[in-house]
Structure 1
């Protein structure tokens, strides 16, 4: 059972480190508002994983993964939210071109924790991952629900550590990112990336 568990942790660690919408959302918030808001965003994302975990253990996520209609509704809602966040970044970069340097440092609006939570909860790929792959990784020596719950907690912890460390790394270069020209460039890059992820989510199949 220990070998199975360590293998599962390794797989989850690799999947956690693959760049995706969560990292783009965290980058946007950490660069614009600082490490505290970045960590709050990570907290929201982690909470979103726990929500999906509870739904998976309860069997509700399996219904979503099996229902084309439900999957499409959640997928399009999540895609629209990512595109909205990306458009915000692009609009802010355009506004900041005509603002004084001090004004260009105005942080984005909205609760960062809620931003992380919503972006993760409306990612239907998590439902597919938790109901399709996670059961195959669960240690066979534990009851199915207990094994799933354990791996969900491990995934949440790995995500918090990885993204939290990423935020703190970004904070070390905050002086660089606070330069108006750099901020505008980062807003444009993260805006395009978020819109790209949104379009990718909208066009992917379960």
Structure 2
């Protein structure tokens, strides 16, 4: 037995708000689309959605609830995730300051790392190392999954709705960004994008690291 259309629709309304709210996923995808290329951007999207499906499955079987219940495990995941975000953002800032790396020149585009696999790994790691995703699903799924329902199939079905909405929204962002490829890959513009995205991602990482004090 799978969730009814009414349940899927209700769940989609809730996650749609999360999906379109600018955040870490938006920053990563837009930066990849603007500076590196479409393959890496779509790789980031695929990685993010793979992480979403994993969190949905873990929440459905109760693993993420156990993770949240264990302060030590939660703190480890939180700090590793925060460190990873600061590292990713720091690399972008370093690229912006040096004007090198993935950034193109005004005269001619540079060879950029437009790798789907590297994009996938970045998107997946960013999502999986974010314990807030686990907390979100642990809090949300019980409101939509009856106790008598098969939790794994329902959890995957609901997470699938989130994946579908996220894929559509982030793909639209990539397509919009690619309409302005030549302008976005100018050195000054690309350095600005790296600086803004890097600062935002470091901010997410620092916020995740400081979260422990209020938990």
TM-score, normalised to structure 1's length?
Answer: 0.89
Show the 5 A alignment for 1:145-164: 145-164=152-171
2:67 to 53, 64, 85: 64
Which stretch shifts more, 135-144 or 27-36? 135-144
Counterpart selection for 1:181 from 178, 188, 208:
188
Corresponding residue pairs, total: 205
Give the corresponding residue for 1:81: 84
On the 8 A contact 2:81/2:129 being kept in 1, the answer is yes
The corresponding residue for 1:107 is 112
Provide the residue aligned with 2:138 in structure 1. Answer: 131
Confirm or deny: 8 A CA contact 2:53 2:163 kept in the other structure. Answer: yes
Alpha-carbon distance, 1:107 to partner: 2.7
Segments of 4+ in structure 1 off by > 4 A? 139-142
Matching residue of 1:18: 21
Kept after mapping to 1: 8 A contact 2:19/2:165: yes
Extract unaligned runs of 5+ from structure 1: none
Which sections of structure 2, spanning at least 5 residues, go unmatched? none
For the 8 Å contact 1:28–1:190, the answer to whether it is kept is: yes
TM-score, normalising length: structure 2: 0.86
CA RMSD, 1 decimal = 2.3
- Cα distance, 1:34 vs structure 2: 1.4
